[in-house]
Chains A and B, each alone.
Chain A
Amino acid sequence: MADRLKSLWHFFFGDSARAFGSMSLILLVLLAISPAKDHFSQWRRYQKQYLHLIRGRADAVTLERHYQGGIQQIWIPEQQVTDRCTTCHLGLKENSLSDVSAVAYRKHPVIPHSLTEFGCTTCHRGQGAATTVQEAHNATEQWEQPLLPAKYIEAGCGQCHLEKQTATPFLNQGRQLIASHGCTRCHTIKQGDATYILPEDDPPSLKHIADKTTREWVYAWIKDPQAYASTATMPNYHFSDDDARDVSAFIMSQSTPLEPPLQPLTAKPNPDPAAGTSLYGQSFCASCHAMQNAAGMMVGGNVGPELTGIGTKAKPEWLADWVANPNHYDPPTMMPHYRFTDEQVATLTSFLESKTEPDFVANVHLDAPTQQQIEHGKRLVLENGCASCHEINGVKKPENFAPELSRIGSKPVSQLLFVEGVDHNLHSYIAAKVGNPRSFGPSLKMPQFKLTPQQVDAITTALLALTDRAATQPPAMRIPSVQQSKYEPAGHAGQLMHDLRCFSCHMINGHGGDMAPDLTWEGTAVQREWLAQFLKNPETLRPALIRRMPKFNLSDADINTLTDYIMTVYQTPEFDRDSLPASELTPAMVEQGRELFYSKFACQSCHIADYAKDKGYIGPALAGTGKRFNAAWLYHWLKDPQSLRPGTIEPNQHMTDDEARALTAFLMSLKSTGAKEVAKK
């Protein structure tokens, strides 16, 4: 053995010439390692296979001309993007490769951005600089961001697009859910444009809760809010029976009587058993509140709480007080102050009291609370941050109760605590935390929200968009969110509009809801007499809508104040409402307009000009237009509807000035009162 080694040594290094030759060989081999590694690298094999693929296709010549070998890179220093994905993903820009089944070579789906300007990892995540499949796509030790699954891809859009875009329905839904479920009452979320996602829910004040409901109901509600109303957004804290007993004891013990106190109801309800139902319908309560009908279907809006079991929840004297004037119990409420007569209040109250869910509190039997239980309840209320959402006497609203989420989308995985069954990456962590927070340990304070898996994914998408890049990129890269303005109308009319909660449904000067038309320029659009009549008795303008303007039973003086204010203040600066006087609209133009209405523009497909023959069901009925609108408004509306009300679905028909004027003349000649015509039919 030793002899053989000796002879081998002698063979290679016996004399200086041999040693030199051998060393040269070794050096050569060592030098060859690097090029060989490069030659046999994974990305080269992908490129070879791509060439093989395109050479077999009809447009091989074009594709080959586009092909560039070697490491490809998209480098955008200001975005910290160094993406070598295009080294293997060679067909991203080739239209003809959209039918290739292998992902690596298929064309990128159509998106509004250029791949070279935005890079790949900006939206898809993963490791841009890597040149092997494993490193680029998967989570490795050095790189914790794996590729984002397709269902969260809109998180990429959300880094720059803070506004509500048609193209990103899930991101919009996620942001909306974060607002509507009050996530930001505990978690602060500051977006890239320095605005905050504000909560849009309306958690009631508990300062006078004992006036409103019973301790039994509070107990059952805390145990399982969705058992009372399936649409409730209040989360479930999974309190034990004892804990729920103590929390309800504390909350009720802190309640003080309303000032001035609730008055017992003296008026008698209308004896007609159908009166309550019809008053509920006439007042359009269903525009905001849902209620289960006899068939078990949920009917109504989701602005206010569900009313299916309201009789079990609310005490009759509280309900009557609330129906009469909600400002008394809860001044910040979104509910308008209807001017009901005492009899109407009694009728509506007895109707609502008849909507009960007796099973909800049937098995709740609570003894009078001990001081110890109340103390324990207080501790639970403090520990669980109840006051983050609800006003409670004697409990301060906690500041920053839960971790800030402004950069959650870039949170290092090393800072997260994972539990069994959750994949080791950020998106799985967020989805698990949102969907099932208590799986991270029973001591975790975050409660269980009632969300479908799809809603959990939507919220995860919105949270993943909150990245470091979103927070730090230059403002020019960002499309800022649309924030509500702080507009409040002034004076007596302003107080009236606040009392009627016009802004719960209508938007004016950037402030308000989107359920009903924007009224910013209503004073230019309509005639004074029509507006006064409409406020007195709102007729239905859009037959297809369920949500309608309620009748507030306003006094003539109130109507005058409102009408004067709207007519003088809400005017567009673009044109004068009297700039197209009736004298300029000739009978010949009316005839020409009629022709245009029915033939060239076929307006009757969506609108009704004549109840006898038109059936269009989409836009508002136009049979009474001559009494409703100002001619100048109609003219400008016909020319460009979106300029007067952005987002309206009325198509811009690109009319000439003469056509628009003739159509205006025709529409202004329509002066029937719709309701009567319908009655005649």
Chain B
Amino acid sequence: MKRSLIVVCVIAQLTSGCSHKSKQPTPLKATATGAAIVESSGGKQIGYVGMPLDQPVVVQVNDASGSALAGAAVYFRGPSGVIFTPAAALTDSSGQVTTAVSLGQQAGRYKLVASTRDASGKNIELTLDEIALGYQQTVGAQLNALYCIRCHDPESTPQRVSNMDNLSVKPHAFTEGDTLNKMSDADLVAIISHGGPALNKSAEMPPWGYTLSKSDIAALVSYIRAVADPPYEAGGLVYARAVTELPYPTSKGGSAALQRGVIALFSNIEPGFNPAAHRAARRILQPWNRSQK
């Protein structure tokens, strides 16, 4: 009698470890399938590393006739470190899903992907670009808000009236990648430090080199590069290479633990960090990294 009691206790002890419910999200039960997924708002925001974006990302699923569709499942994914709350949801009665986004820990551009399935089960995707500013770009953003934006911002609000329209030569908004990407860093530093005449441009751009420090001006240049649209492409500046897809997806046999390891490898440390998966991921990523070069 006593022995069987002990056996029961031991078994209960052993199995209690197994009764932890796995924290895998239950798959969404979509009641409808859409034909297209479009952005409602929340794209092209400028945020800061590791911080939530000011505005949520809102996407809408439409049916074949182009009207909003309720009950379609939308899944969000992004580069490592990006956190969506929620990461998957059904569209509401207006056909939309709203998610709060927190960007990853490295500066640069983040491609977020919202996807849904159409009637044939095929994935349809929407890509949104967001920008995360690092330390130097944040300094630039602050200086921009204090000095530059007064003339370089086409938007005028009652709180901050833009001076752009009062100038005989219109200044470029810093997002005008088409123009500003063609200027070298040295040119940008020269025109900020010595004013428009340094590059044979208007004297309405005053020299800031006696007001701002060299590192301030470097920070401004890094900010201008960070917000350019289309994106500025050059070596030497700090940009994250956005990893939009895990290189070893579950469909090809990768385990969930391995996926976590891959994420851990890219974002350094995640809450569910697993050293074994980290090692396994590195073994797989070595050839992939080589192929990226």
Contacts and interface: CB of A to CB of B under 8 A. Distances in A.
Q: Tell me whether A and B are bound partners.
A: yes
Interface of A: 45, 49, 52-53, 56-57, 95-96, 98-104, 106-107, 109-112, 132-134, 137-138, 146-147, 149-151, 153, 166-167, 169-170, 423, 453-454, 457, 544, 546, 599-602, 605-606, 615-618, 642, 649, 651-654
A680 to B, nearest CB: 20
Contact of A133 (B159, B278, B293): B278
Q: Provide the main secondary structure of the chain B interface.
A: loop
Given A601-B206, A602-B203, A653-B206, A96 B235 contact: yes
Given A147-B269, A616-B166, A651-B206, A109 B240 contact: no
Given A101-B292, A423-B271, 16 more contacts: A96-B235, A99-B239, A101-B240, A101-B289, A102-B285, A109-B135, A137-B268, A147-B268, A150-B50, A166-B139, A602-B203, A615-B165, A616-B163, A651-B208, A652-B210, A653-B207
Nearest to A605: B204
A167 B138 contact: yes
Contacts of A132: 275
Nearest to A615: B166
A373 B236 CA distance: 71
Interface stretch (B1-9, B35-43, B146-154): B146-154
Contacts of A166: 139, 142-143, 146
8 contacts: A56-B293, A98-B238, A101-B266, A110-B218, A150-B105, A151-B49, A602-B202, A652-B211
Contact of A653 (B51, B136, B210): B210
A276 to B, nearest CB: 22
Interface of B: 48-52, 54, 102, 105-107, 134-136, 138-139, 142-143, 146-147, 150-151, 158-161, 163, 165-167, 202-204, 206-211, 215, 218, 222, 235-241, 243, 265-269, 271, 273, 275, 278, 282, 285-286, 289-290, 292-293
A9 to B, nearest CB: 37
B265 A95 contact: no
Given A99-B239, A137-B268, A109 B210 contact: no
Given A423-B271, A617-B161, A651-B207, A605 B167 contact: yes
B275 A618 contact: no
B135 A98 contact: no
Contact of A110 (B150, B166, B222): B222
B273 to A, nearest CB: 6
B45 to A, nearest CB: 13
A95 B150 CA distance: 33
Contacts of B204: 602, 605
Nearest to B240: A101
Nearest to B282: A49
B180 to A, nearest CB: 20
A193 B151 CA distance: 39
Nearest to A108: B238
A103 B237 CA distance: 15
Nearest to A641: B211
Given A95-B236, A642-B211, A103 B266 contact: yes
Interface centre among B50, B215, B271 (most CB of A within 10 A): B50
A98 B215 contact: no
A102 B163 contact: no
B239 A98 contact: yes
B282 to A, nearest CB: 7
Contacts of B54: 454
A642 B210 CA distance: 10
A110 B135 CA distance: 7
A103 B106 contact: yes
Given A103-B268, A423-B271, A651 B203 contact: no
Nearest to A598: B203
A414 B134 CA distance: 33
A646 to B, nearest CB: 11
B151 A110 contact: no
A275 to B, nearest CB: 24
Contacts of A169: 138, 142
B266 A110 contact: no
Contact of B161 (A109, A423, A544): A544
B235 A109 contact: no
A189 to B, nearest CB: 24
A167 B52 contact: no
Nearest to A111: B135
Contact of A618 (B163, B211, B215, B292): B163
Given A57-B293, A618-B151, A651-B210, A134 B222 contact: no
Contact of B52 (A109, A454, A652): A454
A618 B150 contact: yes
Contact of A151 (B50, B135, B159, B292): B50
Task: Name the 7 nearest CB pairs between A and B, nearest first.
Answer: A150-B50, A615-B166, A151-B50, A652-B210, A605-B204, A150-B105, A602-B203
A98 B211 contact: no
Contacts of A653: 206-207, 210
A606 B243 CA distance: 45
Contact of B286 (A52, A57, A146, A616): A52
A256 B139 CA distance: 52
Contacts of B48: 151, 170
Contacts of A109: 107, 134-136, 238
Nearest to A104: B268
Given A166-B143, A601-B206, A99 B51 contact: no
A56 B50 contact: no
Contacts of B241: 99-101
Contacts of A146: 269
A651 B211 contact: yes
A49 B222 CA distance: 30
B151 A601 contact: no
Nearest to B167: A605
Interface centre among A137, A149, A166, A169 (most CB of B within 10 A): A166
B239 A134 contact: no
B207 A654 contact: yes
A67 B108 CA distance: 27
A600 B203 contact: yes
Contacts of B160: 544
A654 B210 contact: yes
